[in-house]
Structure 1
Amino acid sequence: MVSNQTSRVREMDKAYIQQREQELELERRKRRGLFRRLSALAIIILVLGTMGFVTIYAQAQSLEDKKQDKLALEQQIEQLKAEEKRLHQDIVNYNDLDYIAEIARRDYYLTKPGETLFKLPDSQSN
């Protein structure tokens, strides 16, 4: 009771089958090529991005170091300005004869003619 229905099914033309297989193979090659190009592009972008990040980080670190150096130098400038002001005051004082006489009396126990010098003990509360 099985009839011969297979006789109704015809085989497709071999040329069509080969053409279709070639088209499918061409599509696979195109996809594989596209995947390779996209992978290469992604790797290049990743490398360039990493290099950019490293460069920016190094520059930021260098900038921070420069800022700290600048602050240290500004503090040093302030100290030098204060010392310069003190030295200018010393110059003015050493040009004053009364100041020189005071220093000579205090440090070298010099006196004016007819003057008597008395040295008192330091007052310490015991």
Structure 2
Amino acid sequence: MVTNRTSRVREMDKAYIQQREQELEYEKRKRRGLLRRLTAMAVIILALGSIGFVTVYAQANSIEEKKQEKIALEERLEQLKLEEKRLHEDIKNYNDLDYIAEIARRDYYLSKPGETLFKLPDSQSN
């Protein structure tokens, strides 16, 4: 059975419904734009962060290589200083007549007048 009753539910004003739908659509677009801006900013920040990380990593490797090179050069410097010291001693010795005479006797078997040199074999343990 169908009864014919007047409905108590009123239909809202169409202008208000359209305005509300437009407001909701504007909020959706606003939110979508915000998400796009945030995504773009995140991508830019991520790219800049990656570039910064790579730069810092490369510089750290370069610094480590320079430290290793510095250590090697310092060792070489010490060797050269020792060699320089030895060479200065050689210069001093070659200006000493007694040293020159000793070298002449040892290497060239020269002797002073009336002196006899004897060469003994080196003792080697077998």
Structure 1 residue 120, shift from structure 2 partner: 2.3
Question: Structure 2 length as normaliser, TM-score?
Answer: 0.93
1:109 corresponds to which letter in structure 2? Answer: Y
Q: Distance in 1 between matches of 2:111 and 2:34?
A: 104
Gaps of 5+ in 2: none
Alignment partner of 1:117: what SS? coil
Structure 1 residue 99, shift from structure 2 partner: 0.2
Structure 1 residue 9, shift from structure 2 partner: 1.1
Q: Identical aligned pairs, as a percentage? A: 81
Question: Structure 1 length as normaliser, TM-score?
Answer: 0.93
The equivalent residue for 1:61 is 61
2:67 corresponds to which letter in structure 1? Answer: K
How many residues align structurally? Answer: 126
Gaps of 5+ in 1: none
Aligned Cα root-mean-square deviation (Å) = 1.5
1:82 corresponds to which letter in structure 2? Answer: L
Give the 4+ runs in structure 1 shifted more than 3 A: 1-6, 123-126
Q: Distance in 1 between matches of 2:110 and 2:55?
A: 70
Q: Distance in 2 between matches of 1:24 and 1:122?
A: 109
2:95 corresponds to which letter in structure 1? Answer: N
1:81 corresponds to which letter in structure 2? Answer: K
Greater CA drift, 55-64 or 2-11: 2-11
